[in-house]
Amino acid sequence: MALSKLPLYSVFFFFLYTSLSISSQALSSKIAVAQIKDQQDNEPFVGINMGEDVSNLMPATELVSFLQFQKVTHIKLYDADPDILKALAKTKIRVIISVPNNQLLAIGSSNTTAASWIGKNVVAYYPQTVITAIAVGDEVLTTVPSSAPLLMPAIESLYSALVAANLHNQIKISTPHSASIILDPFPPSQSFFNQSWISVIQPLLQFLSKTGSPLMMNFYPYYVFMQNKGVVPLDNSLFKPLKPSQEMVDPNTLLHYTNVLDAMVDAAYFSMRSMNFTDVVVLVTESGWPSKGDSKEPYATIDNADTYNSNLIKHVLDRSGTPLHPEITSSVYLYELFNEDLRSPPVSEANWGLFYANSTPVYLLHVSGSGTFLANDTTNRTYCIVMDGVDSKTLQAALDWACGPGRANCSEIQPGENCFQPNNVKNHASYAFDSYYQKQGRAASSCDFKGVAMITTTDPSHGSCIFPGSKKITNEARTVVNTTSPSNGAGGSRLISFYSSRISAVDKALKTFLTIIFSILLYIPFMMF
């Protein structure tokens, strides 16, 4: 039937129906784009490394639940552990998987092996498990230089396998480097890559530029400080506020550096610039500070580790960039989740973790107001208790000090009082330790007692025995405020999903109604003839 034969009102409703259909499709398309963008990392983030040299490491499912509880959104593995990858499915936690150094030879020598590796460790899990990148080897140029010639062949073979699986746009490939590949790191403007490795670094940067992948760097201001004591101040290494006279100034650019990490990141950018690469972003795949060391590592302390990691998290989430690139803030993966107690000496090697293997915190990060990352920032409710496995004689000595010179309030653990039972040294010491800890303002260093105490967020109170940390909680602190305001990206996702569902429902009803009306209006003219 020709459109010109229709009554005017029929034509009007036809165009109304068509316009609404087109608008509905456009809106659905915009919502889909928004949902895709929500899955991407458009903002700088703080992730965390997960080493597995840990005795009694919790099962993968419990580990992933722990990560979710701690609001961890990005992790990096040093392998492609199948149990962890399986447990991560449908959690939206983003993961970087790694090719261990001992697999470079096989992958770099055979495209078939590379394709098999991608099939087994990527295709088998993606997209249910959100794999964002593959780290090929770890500090290969400086730790296993004999494998350096295999690095680019391995990277290119893995990339070809990703292309074949049509995943090369979703998953990036790079390789983490030690900071030592950059020579003359300060001032940053004079930095350059070690010329011994140019035959590898040149094609690597070409690959990263072509594929939009990051330059992965492991940066440790701790080691910079330890190797340059007397030259690099501790406060600069820990992100502490500085007077203008304490800032480091690059004499060539006159850029002011208030912390060591920014200088290290800019040294990487200047090194790439010297090779005419300006479109590759730096990703800090490792950074941290040890909480314990031997006699030669006096700055490996709980207070310094807490200060560094807390300030690092704030620095990244503040999106302040670097002096050279204030518009670009590098994302950072903290080293690391757990203390790896199976590591070989020095002592600090086993003490980089934020948590012990039993999931209790080594110390409490102070990152309030910087997002939801790491739920162990519960500085309003923390307690100091005895660690497991401490012998009674050592505990008794610590208890005697706490109740004596430490002036802890030990009246509640006397016979007949509320916290006397159970009558054992561990219970009494935990109460005394917590009393001392609370009196010291919950300073991390006040919960040590020569290594027999630890901080916990679990209230140790029991029955009528109320620990000092619980007595300090006010009624206001006990109140739980319920809010419907979305506080993070997840809230935004739920809003988009809800909005999409509402639009979809209304859209269907409206289209059904207009279809009926339009059919009636088309039918009426024929009834008139």
**Active-site residue (options: 43, 62, 286, 327):** 286
Name the token pair of 271: 């090194």
CA distances from 117 to 79, 114, 134, 230, 511 (A): 12, 5, 11, 48, 49
**Active-site residue (options: 139, 336, 340, 412):** 139
Q: Which residues of 164-178 are buried (b: 16+ CB within 10 A; e: fewer)?
A: ebebbebbbbbbbbb
- Collect all residues with Cβ–Cβ distance below 8 Å to 431 and sequence separation of at least 6: 410, 412, 413, 419, 465, 467, 468
- Collect all residues with Cβ–Cβ distance below 8 Å to 24 and sequence separation of at least 6: 503, 507, 511
Could you identify the residue written with the tokens 């005017």?
A: 8
Q: Which has the closest alpha carbon to 291: 228, 190, 362, 342? A: 362
Name the token pair of 48: 């965390």
244 upstream amide cis, omega within 30 of 0: no
Residue 412 falls in the annotated catalytic set: no
φ/ψ of 391, rounded to 5, equals -75, 155
d(CA 434, CA 469): 7
467 neighbors 459 (Cβ within 8 angstroms):
yes
Name the token pair of 313: 């998290």
C-beta atoms surrounding 44 within 10 Å: 17
d(CA 2, CA 512): 24
d(CA 181, CA 192): 9
Residue 417 falls in the annotated catalytic set: no
- Collect all residues with Cβ–Cβ distance below 8 Å to 320 and sequence separation of at least 6: 326, 329
d(CA 227, CA 482): 50
SS3 160: helix
Please give the helix or strand (H or E) that residue 192 lies within, else none: strand 192-193
Q: Is 306 exposed, middle or buried (0-12, 13-18, 19+ CB in 10 A)?
A: buried
Catalytic residues, by residue number, are: 139, 286
